[in-house]
């Protein structure tokens, strides 16, 4: 059983992915964390993305232990922004593609996997058994992310979080390689007026056959 979840920044993909995996006894991979890890590595190595060669990026990623325990910096707005920049580079996506597919097809507990990201249903796992696409109004997503960052001790204004989210979505949707897009067979959920439990219930209901596929209209 392979489930693909895609969606905009701070739309609730991660929470849904984690809870869905737990309920179904599947393994979970937050693919955004991989791109964030590359963004952090780029920062720590002082690599200039403007003129970094494919070779440099490939070596950096090959040497990166993606299973290590990352600190809270990985979830910071700065690293989110860097993740979205490195995610637009073809070499970075190529280097991470097989790792994501390998996790899905050989999950640690052998039962199946839930992956969340931007291109899971469209590029990484086009044959996934079920696909979800989550979106919500930008100000609602920014409110959720602002609370999350504040709780983590980041001193940041709401307006900055909103601007970051809009900029990142725009870059993710408009990049030439593997842009953020809803697969045509994805089930669309607008989480603007739904809490995490409600979104989970809708997805479980859909997997039980209680819903017809609904084309994504949110983008």
Interacting residue ranges for ligand CDP, rule: CB under 6 A: 9-10, 14, 31-32, 35-36, 80, 83-84, 87, 117-120, 168, 172
CB of 84 to ligand CDP, least distance (A): 3
* Torsional class of 215: left (φ above 0), alpha (ψ -120 to 50), beta (otherwise): beta
Nearer to ligand CDP, 32 or 107 (CB): 32
Nearer to ligand CDP, 16 or 212 (CB): 16
CB of 45 to ligand CDP, least distance (A): 18
Give the strands of the sheet with 113-117, arranged side by side. Answer: 27-30, 113-117, 2-7, 130-135, 187-190
Degrees (nearest 5) of the Cα angle 81, 83, 86?
A: 115
Nearer to ligand CDP, 71 or 110 (CB): 71
Determine the Cα–Cα distance for residues 184 and 192; give it in Å rounded to an integer: 21
Nearer to ligand CDP, 146 or 168 (CB): 168
CB of 212 to ligand CDP, least distance (A): 26
In 3D space, the residue among 79, 93, 78, 77 whose CA is nearest the CA of residue 31 turns out to be 93
Nearer to ligand CDP, 25 or 128 (CB): 128
Kindly state the helix (H) or strand (E) to which residue 131 belongs, with its residue range: strand 130-135
CB of 209 to ligand CDP, least distance (A): 27
For 80-114, b/e burial (b = at least 16 CB within 10 A) is bebbbbbbbbebbbebbeeebeebbeebeeeebbb
CB of 217 to ligand CDP, least distance (A): 20
Nearer to ligand CDP, 11 or 187 (CB): 11
CB of 201 to ligand CDP, least distance (A): 21
Q: Do 126 and 178 form a contact (C-beta atoms < 8 A)?
A: no
């Amino acid at each position: 059983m392979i489930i693909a979840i895609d969606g905009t920044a701070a739309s609730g993909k991660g929470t849904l992915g984690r809870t869905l995996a737990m309920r179904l006894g599947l393994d979970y991979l937050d693919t955004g964390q991989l791109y964030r890890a590359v963004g952090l590595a780029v920062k720590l190595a002082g690599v200039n993305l403007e003129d970094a060669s494919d070779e440099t990026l490939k070596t950096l990623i090959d040497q990166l232990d993606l299973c290590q325990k990352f600190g809270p910096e990985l979830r910071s707005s700065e690293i989110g922004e860097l993740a979205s920049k490195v995610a637009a580079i073809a070499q970075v996506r190529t280097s991470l593609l097989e790792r994501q597919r390998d996790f899905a097809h050989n999950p640690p507990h052998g039962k199946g996997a839930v992956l969340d990201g931007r291109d899971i249903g469209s590029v990484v796992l086009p044959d996934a058994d079920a696909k979800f696409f989550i979106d919500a109004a930008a100000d609602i997503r920014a409110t959720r992310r602002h609370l999350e960052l504040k709780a983590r001790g980041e001193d940041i204004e709401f307006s900055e979080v909103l601007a970051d989210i809009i900029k990142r979505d725009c870059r993710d949707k408009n990049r030439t390689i593997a842009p953020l897009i809803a697969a045509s067979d994805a089930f669309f959920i607008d989480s603007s007026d739904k809490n995490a439990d409600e979104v989970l219930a809708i997805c479980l209901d859909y997997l039980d056959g209680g819903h017809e596929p609904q084309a994504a209209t949110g983008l």
